[in-house]
């Protein structure tokens, strides 16, 4: 049953929706985490439908950078009139509202909501929160989060910005010693925010205590001009996010009160004595929270891409396999299915993993230290793996749309540019994977490993996989096979590290490729476990389609990495062939449900921003309508033609 069927739709897409073998609304409810959360999303969507002033006046690909900034601020000002949609006690609803208003071109205040407020909430003391949070929520304080420096990203210990405590005045002195130490990249830092949470290396009593966050006012409350000893500005256009004024910031011995250090977990006393946090990882609570949100949101980028590619493939006809029978839907070609369907499965798997990570990361807010290493490693590894594979998937979806996928009308170029930045911001992916590898080295050498690392201390129950048929391949067998491959990858990398010569940094560098691969397997194992566990709790009527999607994700992962599963004869060539058959069977089963599955993601047209992926399937009239937004079409003869080409043509004709 698919409620997306409406009169006036393209007959081809209606035909697809009538094939649904499951209730699309039930799937949507499962995918979005329950009816309550789904109703909250739809409330936001209705709100945007009813308030045109919160939407773009024309498609953003046709706007200049100045127009993009103006468009963002215009919508932001409109949001101020409708602040009932901003509720920091419901961060999911608030985030979705912001995403729907600004979609994929960001906005000057995005980091205020996505980083500044969450970090303030997790790192400030109760007394500080009582003072600062009302200001931050009122709109009088507009904040950003400034950690990254021009020459320093994820290596926090080497940040150059310093906060040196002066006990005589009970102030911290913020200073940028070199150009490479300039804060660089934070959204809204350039022109629009007036405060920032600054991450700087804290010095007190002649000792560096490492990076800490500070609440810092950087612009005058009345004039909005930069304060004395503060230099800041916009860094210029980027690949995407050009509706945001990503900026730079330089301090010249700028003083702030001692009380401006965020002191939930650590503090500096008036005499300069440093009080350590109960656990070193607690200082990274804000970062872990943001990464947990990123995993789910980036998975949604992939859901957008596969929705566009699947819907378009259902209405695009090309090729006539049987002469005289007419052209067929490109979704009927197995090659097209193999390009798209595994990424539909990944979108669901990654979303499930992101949801689970958000749940476990909530323990950081409680200050519980026992699982912090696990959570920190998971957030790092999932962010790295998911962002990279989502970017690959978006590109495959662009290719699946043929030539039209190259047009901004498809929505995919903007989506791709928007999404690819996630591979580097909030931690470079390779650096994060190596952080996971360091965590695994400790888990391997620990006498006892529990939780998600317990598999490292298991002994393989068999020298060979028990797989006989993909149809009888149980969840338990799947997990055992992934544990075997992951354990082997981790132990091999650790063995190589042990025998590597030279200093530990040199040895680590020479083994870093194998170490990052092992870390990637650890994260894959986690995703497989979580997906199978989550689907086992799904409503019975949804289990068939969900299990088919899960098997497609898992079998494709195994076949694509068959060398790891075949090492030392753990799996045979025949078993790999059996998994291939499982892939073809899964794709065949998914084919009649494909459009209904992506419909169940419930991605609103405002968010999708795609002519090719429009709900009604009326792609070709939509493409012609798209051309009306082009400024080049405002005049039949462009000014440039009259200015440059016409005189040349006239001169050439005179010689004929």
Distances in Å between the alpha carbon of 92 and those of 88, 106, 128, 521? Answer: 9, 17, 24, 30
Residue 361 has, within 13 A of its CA and on its CB side, a CA count of 27
C-alpha closest to that of 37 among 251, 350, 358: 358
148 marked among binding-site residues: yes
Strand order in the sheet with 230-234: 183-184, 247-251, 230-234
HEC assignment per residue over 114-176: HHHHHHHHHHCCHHHHHHHHHHHHHCCCCEEEECCECCECCCHHHCCCEEEEECCCCEEEEEC
Question: Cα–Cα distance between 129 and 159 in angstroms, integer?
Answer: 26
Question: Cα–Cα distance between 375 and 364 in angstroms, integer?
Answer: 9
HEC assignment per residue over 621-652: HHHHHHHHHCHHHHCCCCHHHHHHHHHHHHHH
CB 453 within 8 A of CB 535: no
| Angle CA 297–301–302, to nearest 5 | 120
Q: How far apart are the first and last CA of the chain?
A: 70
Q: Which of 29, 160, 426, 514 is catalytic?
A: 426
CB 146 within 8 A of CB 194: no
Question: Cα–Cα distance between 23 and 17 in angstroms, integer?
Answer: 11
C-alpha closest to that of 541 among 579, 473, 499, 593: 593
486 marked among binding-site residues: no
Question: Cα–Cα distance between 375 and 363 in angstroms, integer?
Answer: 9
Question: Cα–Cα distance between 515 and 431 in angstroms, integer?
Answer: 11
Residue for token pair 């909005």: 224
Distances in Å between the alpha carbon of 364 and those of 361, 367, 370, 376, 386? Answer: 6, 5, 10, 10, 22
Question: Cα–Cα distance between 259 and 227 in angstroms, integer?
Answer: 19
Question: Cα–Cα distance between 629 and 469 in angstroms, integer?
Answer: 55
The strand pair at 162-166 and 195-204 is best described as parallel
C-alpha closest to that of 380 among 315, 457, 304, 439: 439
| Strand partners for 217 | 195
Residue 320: active-site member: no
Q: Where is the binding site, in residues?
A: 148, 187
Q: Where is the binding site for FAD, in residues?
A: 148, 187
Residues taking part in catalysis: 426
């Amino acid at each position: 049953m698919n409620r997306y069927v409406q009169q006036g739709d393209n007959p081809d897409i209606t035909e697809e929706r009538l094939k649904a073998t499951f209730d699309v609304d039930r799937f949507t409810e499962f995918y979005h985490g329950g009816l309550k959360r789904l109703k909250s999303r739809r409330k936001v969507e209705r709100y945007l439908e009813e308030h045109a002033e919160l939407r773009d006046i024309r498609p953003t690909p046709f706007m200049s950078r100045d127009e993009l900034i103006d468009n963002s601020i215009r919508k932001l000002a409109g949001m101020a009139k409708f602040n009932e949609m901003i509720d920091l006690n419901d961060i999911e609803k608030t985030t979705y509202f912001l995403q729907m208003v600004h979609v994929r071109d960001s906005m000057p205040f995005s980091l205020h909501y996505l980083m500044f407020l969450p970090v303030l909430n997790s790192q400030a003391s109760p007394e500080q929160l009582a003072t600062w949070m009302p200001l931050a929520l009122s709109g009088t304080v507009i904040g950003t989060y400034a950690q990254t420096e021009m020459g320093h990203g994820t290596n926090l210990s080497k940040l150059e910005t310093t906060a040196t405590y002066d006990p005589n005045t009970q102030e911290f002195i913020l200073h940028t010693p070199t150009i490479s130490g300039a804060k660089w990249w934070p959204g809204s830092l350039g022109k629009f925010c007036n405060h920032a949470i600054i991450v700087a290396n804290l010095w007190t009593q002649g000792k560096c205590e490492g990076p800490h966050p500070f609440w810092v006012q950087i612009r005058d409350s009345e004039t909005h001009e930069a304060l004395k000893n503060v230099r800041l500005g916009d860094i210029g256009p980027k690949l995407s996010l050009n509706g945001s004024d990503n900026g730079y910031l330089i301090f010249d011995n700028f003083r702030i009160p001692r009380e401006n250090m965020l002191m939930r977990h650590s503090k500096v006393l008036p005499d300069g004595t440093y009080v350590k946090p109960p656990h070193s990882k607690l200082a990274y609570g804000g970062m872990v929270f943001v990464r947990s949100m990123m995993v789910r949101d980036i998975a949604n980028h992939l859901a957008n891409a596969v929705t566009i590619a699947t819907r378009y493939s259902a209405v695009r006809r090309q090729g006539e396999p049987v002469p005289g029978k007419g052209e067929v839907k490109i979704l009927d070609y197995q090659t097209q299915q193999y390009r798209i369907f595994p990424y539909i499965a990944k979108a669901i798997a990654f979303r499930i993993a992101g949801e689970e990570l958000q749940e476990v990361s909530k323990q950081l807010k409680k200050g519980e230290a026992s699982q912090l290493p696990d959570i920190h490693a998971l957030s790092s590894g999932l962010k790295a793996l998911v962002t990279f594979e989502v970017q690959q998937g978006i590109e495959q979806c662009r290719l699946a749309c043929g030539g039209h996928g190259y047009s901004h009308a498809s929505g995919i170029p903007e989506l791709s540019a928007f999404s690819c930045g996630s591979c580097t911001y909030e931690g470079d992916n390779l650096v994060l994977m190596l952080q996971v590898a360091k965590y695994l080295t400790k888990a391997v050498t620990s006498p006892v490993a529990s939780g998600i690392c317990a598999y490292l201390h298991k002994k393989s129950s068999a020298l060979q996989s028990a797989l006989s048929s993909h149809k009888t391949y149980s969840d338990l067998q799947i997990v055992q096979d992934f544990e075997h491959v992951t354990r082997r990858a981790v132990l091999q990398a650790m063995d190589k590290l042990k025998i590597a010569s030279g200093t530990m940094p040199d040895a680590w560098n020479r083994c870093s490729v194998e170490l990052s691969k092992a870390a990637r397997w650890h994260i894959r194992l986690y995703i497989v476990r979580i997906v199978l566990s989550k689907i086992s709790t799904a409503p019975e009527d949804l289990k068939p389609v969900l299990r088919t999607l899960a098997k497609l994700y898992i079998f494709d992962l195994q076949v694509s990495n068959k060398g790891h599963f075949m090492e030392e004869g753990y799996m045979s060539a025949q078993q790999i062939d059996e998994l291939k058959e499982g892939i073809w069977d899964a794709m065949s089963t998914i084919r009649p449900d494909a459009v209904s599955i992506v419909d169940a993601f419930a991605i609103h047209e405002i968010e999708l921003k795609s002519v090719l992926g429009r709900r009604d399937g009326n792609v070709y009239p939509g493409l012609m309508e798209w051309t009306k937004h082009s400024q080049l079409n405002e005049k039949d003869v462009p000014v440039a033609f009259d200015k440059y080409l016409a005189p040349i043509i006239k001169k050439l004709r005179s010689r004929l």
